[in-house]
Amino acid sequence: NAGVTQTPKFQVLKTGQSMTLQCAQDMNHEYMSWYRQDPGMGLRLIHYSVGAGITDQGEVPNGYNVSRSTTEDFPLRLLSAAPSQTSVYFCASSYLGAYEQYFGPGTRLTVT
Amino acid sequence: AQTVTQSQPEMSVQEAETVTLSCTYDTSENNYYLFWYKQPPSRQMILVIRQEAYKQQNATENRFSVNFQKAAKSFSLKISDSQLGDTAMYFCAFMKHAGVTGTASKLTFGTGTRLQVTL
């Protein structure tokens, strides 16, 4: 039982490049979400999903796309990276309606 | 919308002493959860303690306890007998209760308090 996994752990991008942050969970959780963590800002919700085929925007969705084709995977796409997207990204999952969320180890992304 | 405020960006405590981290929140909801998460240098988010708003009794988990004041919308974390391993960033977070619909709910985090435990 791996829990929530995220790849890569670290990434450096140049402005304008695209990439996908991967998130997978093996607990059959319906709910998955992406947060970004910036100094002095705490964690802010980017996008979330309540099941395969269903996604919705969080607090800071601009510049990010998501899709949920399977229960296990919830990738986060940056179509054209900007320096403002330099951050640590966390994926989290839970059973629908459950209070406890399981966090992945995070991805540190730097955009130069 | 909910907001969570942590007014102490940094705190320091000596080993074996007690420290209290403050958190206030604002919501129009009546049924919700409050959490304290710990983030050590490893970056992993670890749930420390949770409180359900409908419960008057303050939650405790070993050396960690909360002081939940619903009317004042205050939710502080007390760490007793502080240990070096408690050094971390601590986040207060809010989640609306899912209710009978079972819909997922989102976490709203405060900006965090960096706690340093010293010898």
Q: pLDDT digits over B77-86, tens only? A: 999 999 999 9
Omega before residue A83 within 30° of 0, cis: no
B94 forms beta bridges with B34, B108
pLDDT higher than threshold 90 for residue B24: yes
Unique residue bearing structure tokens 């960690």: B64
pLDDT band, very low/low/confident/very high, at A13 (cuts 50, 70, 90):
very high
How close is the nearest chain A Cα to the Cα of B80, in Å?
24
Alpha-carbon distance A69 to B30, whole Å? 35
pLDDT band for position A100 (cuts 50, 70, 90): confident
d(CA A5, CA A21): 11
Question: How far is the C-alpha of A14 from the C-alpha of A18, rounded, in Å?
Answer: 9
Q: How far is CA A9 from CA A4, A12, A22, A84, A107, in A?
A: 13, 11, 10, 19, 4
Q: Do A45 and B106 touch (CB under 8 A)?
A: yes
Which of A30, A42, A48 is facing B109, going by the closest CB pair? A42
Interface test with chain B among A50, A101, A102, A109, by most B beta carbons within 10 Å:
A101
Q: Is B89 on the interface with A (CB under 8 A)?
A: no
Q: Which residues of B touch A105 (CB under 8 A)?
A: 42-44
Confidence of residue B103 (pLDDT cuts 50, 70, 90): low
Q: CA of A73: how far to CAs of A63, B35, B38, in Å? A: 20, 26, 26
- Residue B104, pLDDT > 70, answer no
Which pLDDT value is given to residue B20?
Answer: 98
pLDDT for A108 beyond 70: yes
- Chain A interface includes B21 (CB < 8 A): no
Name the residue among B43, B91, B106 with its Cβ closest to that of A105.
B43
List, for residues A47-97, the tens digit of each pLDDT value: 999 999 999 999 999 999 999 999 999 999 999 999 999 999 999 999 887
- Pick from B44, B91, B99: which is nearest to A43 by CB? B91
pLDDT of residue B100: 61
